[in-house]
């Protein structure tokens, strides 16, 4: 059995896309960065901690069961762009992304019954077109950006802002499927 340590409907959709049957477990961890922690190291650490948190919450786990956990962060000029708190914050984030390239770091971790956790990172680049004020206003007026890192969803209305993607679409959406498949196979999961 596979357990997804995430309440993200996007991650669940992606895992189903590659034919994985799973149950969802909810894991809550402190996602604060450590002093001087690089974004790529933070996203890897968070995915590992979520997988370990899943192990402690899954009391019915059997020897062949696996926990899948992931985290995604947006980086611009070496700084994390988090989830917008409100409309002004959403506007600010999108103005920063306008006509610029940014990075999307997505890490996935797989934990086994024995507590061993392996994780992989997918580093992706996105370039936004120049956003008009009315584009930002309309998008921030929707419900879409408020639970998304960087204030946008590639699979939603913001797709029209993306001029170029270098990397993995699924990773930008929240779960790098290639890396997830690799880790599951390494852990003995049969597709």
Flag whether 191 is in a domain.
Answer: no
| Tens of each residue's pLDDT in the chain, 191 residues | 999 999 999 999 999 999 999 999 999 999 999 999 999 999 999 999 999 999 999 888 899 999 999 999 999 999 999 999 999 999 999 999 999 999 999 999 999 999 999 999 999 999 999 999 999 999 999 999 999 999 999 999 999 999 999 999 999 999 999 999 999 999 999 88
Distances 156 to 21, 32, 159 between C-alpha atoms, Å: 25, 27, 6
pLDDT for 60: 85
Give catalytic status of residue 114 as yes or no. no
The catalytically annotated residue of 65, 71, 86, 135 is 71
How far is 174 from 8, CA to CA, in rounded Å? 9
Residue at 24 is within a domain: yes
Q: For the residues of the chain, what is the DSSP string, one character each?
A: -EEEE---HHHHHHHHHTT--EEEE------PPPTT--HHHHHHHHHHHHHHHHHHH-TT--TT-EEEEEEEEEEETTEEE---SSHHHHHHHHHHHTT-EEEEEEEEEEEETTS-EEEEEEEEEEEE-PPPHHHHHHHHTSSGGGGSGGG--TTTGGGGGEEEEES-HHHHHT--HHHHHHHHHHTT---
The CATH number of the domain holding residue 133 is 3.90.950.10
For residue 60, tell me if it sits in a domain.
yes
Residue range(s) defining the domain that contains residue 44: 2-186
Q: What pLDDT, on a 0 to 100 scale, did the predictor assign at position 2?
A: 97
Which pLDDT belongs to residue 29? 95
Q: How far is CA 178 from CA 52, 105, 107, in A?
A: 21, 14, 11
What's the pLDDT score for residue 137?
A: 97
pLDDT recorded at residue 21:
95
**pLDDT score recorded for residue 1:** 94
Global confidence as pTM: 0.94
Domains in the chain: how many in total?
Answer: 1
């Amino acid at each position: 059995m596979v357990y997804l340590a995430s309440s993200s409907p996007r991650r669940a959709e992606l895992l189903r896309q590659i034919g994985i049957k799973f149950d969802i477990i909810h894991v809550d961890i402190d996602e604060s960065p450590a002093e001087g922690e690089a974004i790529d190291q933070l996203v890897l650490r968070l995915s590992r901690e979520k997988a370990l948190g899943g192990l402690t919450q899954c009391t019915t786990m059997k020897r062949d069961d696996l926990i899948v956990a992931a985290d995604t962060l947006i980086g611009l000029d070496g700084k994390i762009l988090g989830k917008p708190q409100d409309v002004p914050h959403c506007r600010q984030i999108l103005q920063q992304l306008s006509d610029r390239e940014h990075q999307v770091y997505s890490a996935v971790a797989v934990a086994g019954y024995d507590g061993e956790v392996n994780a992989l990172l997918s580093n992706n680049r996105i370039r936004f077109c120049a956003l008009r004020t009315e584009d930002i206003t309309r998008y921030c007026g929707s419900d879409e950006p408020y639970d998304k890192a960087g204030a946008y969803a590639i699979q939603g209305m913001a797709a029209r802002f993306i001029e170029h993607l270098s990397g993995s679409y699924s990773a930008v959406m929240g779960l790098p499927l290639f890396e997830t498949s690799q880790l599951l196979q390494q852990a003995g999961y049969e597709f």
